[in-house]
Structure 1
């Protein structure tokens, strides 16, 4: 049974959680617990997985409710435009990529060097987009050079623990 310290219920101030609408709660719960090393604190209604210093809350979609009239929730369909995504920051993106891939995560590309950061994307079981990034050049004041060629600044990063 989850304790209050495990749940997103602040005793003062606020905390930030991320709610996602899912088709299969069990599959999504496993994905976030396994790939991101999360702790399942509530199995269903809603499912809640604590990851690092945040929580992912998952529930199936549904129609309007009294507190959100005229709003329906549904998981994304293939080809839907993306208007927001989960952004996860890691200390070692190559190690995270290797571990997550071994656990079944399917990335759009391997991590790419964007000068300011190393970055890659993946989808969860329902198609929600997740960015995984490691701050690198931005820590030194280097921002991505939008005028430089993609070849020069978007190199794959493949060795765990690789320094810039």
Structure 2
């Protein structure tokens, strides 16, 4: 039996995503749909790191037991120059890390920076926590972690 035969379906899907990312030339290891991200976290196969600001986590909500390393801070979203070091201190460079932000854009930038800093299995969570903004300038009506009915809490 090969090692691949022993992987859970969620880990097999993650490996497929990683291969697709390499084929597409992504600067990080891949983009994971929210439900797969939760399956990986719930199984203990990945660490979920919220890269939104502390204010976003507090006032909009967050995933229970997720780690927090802000990609940027404050209302001006000033880039956190210590992001890679803080991420490494919390998860290590060889962990499977899933990065989550509001819509999936900042977390993609954070995943790219982490991959460049030597993280070996860093992924962006597609759709983010709140999802894309719609034509009425609202989030959460068609995609995102909360829209998908995944666990979250609010302070």
**TM-score range normalised by the length of the shorter chain:** under 0.3
TM-score (norm. length: structure 1)? 0.26
Structure with greater strand percent = 1
Return the structure number with greater helix share. 2
Larger radius of gyration, structure 1 or 2? 1
